[in-house]
Amino acid sequence: MHKHLASLLCALALPLAASGLDELRAQLQKPGSAEPLRASVDFQTWSRQGDEKKPVITQGSASAWAETSPQGLRLLWSHDLLAQAVKEARAHNEDPEKTTPIRDAMGGMGALTLLDYFDPAQKILQDLDQATLVDERPDTLDGKPLRLLTLKLEPRMGARDRKYVKELVATAKVWVDAAGNPVAADTLVKLKGKALLVISFSSEQHDTYRFGRVNGHLVTLRHVHESSGSGGGESGQSRRVAVLTFS
């Protein structure tokens, strides 16, 4: 009897095996390399806004160089692209109905967006802050054996958002390697709500990521963001694709 009780107490004292989510968080919290990074960034945008009978469709693309250094993050645009952006602005000023696809694409490549691409660990940790592991199993991606973590997310909302959002569902799938490093991710957020008591709205956001390691850094290689929404008799869809090629 005493031996059985002692064995039970020893078993309870043993640490529980770390889950794939625990290992992922641990890997993301490790300090990154101080080596500089340089990449070409290709950015494409597409949107469809307005009613079904006469939607406004715009699409554009822009490319730039981005690099890190001891001084910070720098973004370089070509003179040709800047000239096209200026030309678009003049045309739009003369005719407000004309779209500005290049300027829109350039606007999507802000400093904070690029910072998340060059160092995605902190953004992923924020998304995982309230995550719950739903399932963990072996899987393959691009022919490589990985582990697939299926997660339930709990995005934080301010008091104003909670007032209007009546339903929110957020899920994620993260593929990790044997060490717990993220290789790819797929997130989906759906919400429904009502504003001013009479205007119902809904939206959906779908993001897919591919990650890699360059010079000791975890980096984003590709990000696709798709969103759709409707409310007040209007609807819209958009798609943004960012591809980073590191050198």
pLDDT at 110: 86
Calpha distance 153→33 (Å, rounded): 29
Are 215 and 233 in contact, with CB atoms under 8 Å apart?
Answer: no
Q: What whole-number percentage of the chain has pLDDT above 70?
A: 91
Are 183 and 177 in contact, with CB atoms under 8 Å apart?
Answer: yes
Q: What is the pLDDT of residues 96-155, one digit of tens each?
A: 988 899 998 998 888 899 999 999 999 999 999 889 999 999 999 999 999 999 999 988
Are 10 and 3 in contact, with CB atoms under 8 Å apart?
Answer: no
Tally of CA atoms within 13 A in the half-sphere of 185 that contains its CB: 26
Calpha distance 201→227 (Å, rounded): 14
Q: Is the pTM of this model over 0.85?
A: yes
- Single-letter amino acid, residue 139: D
Q: How distant, in Å, are the alpha carbons of 32, 47, 67, 222 from that of 37?
A: 12, 31, 5, 16
- Residue of 101, 178, 190, 202 lying closest to 152 (CA atoms): 190
Are 149 and 136 in contact, with CB atoms under 8 Å apart?
Answer: yes
Delimit the domains of the chain by residue range.
38-246
Phi, psi of 212 (to 5 degrees): -155, 180
**What ranges in 51-110 are assigned the alpha helix state H?**
79-94, 101-108
Are 165 and 196 in contact, with CB atoms under 8 Å apart?
Answer: no
Calpha distance 136→108 (Å, rounded): 34
- Beta strand pairing status for 72-76 and 132-141? unpaired
Q: What is the pLDDT of residues 26-85, one digit of tens each?
A: 999 998 888 999 999 999 999 998 777 778 888 999 999 999 988 899 999 999 999 999
pLDDT at 79: 96
Are 90 and 100 in contact, with CB atoms under 8 Å apart?
Answer: no
* Per-residue tokens: 222: 């590709």
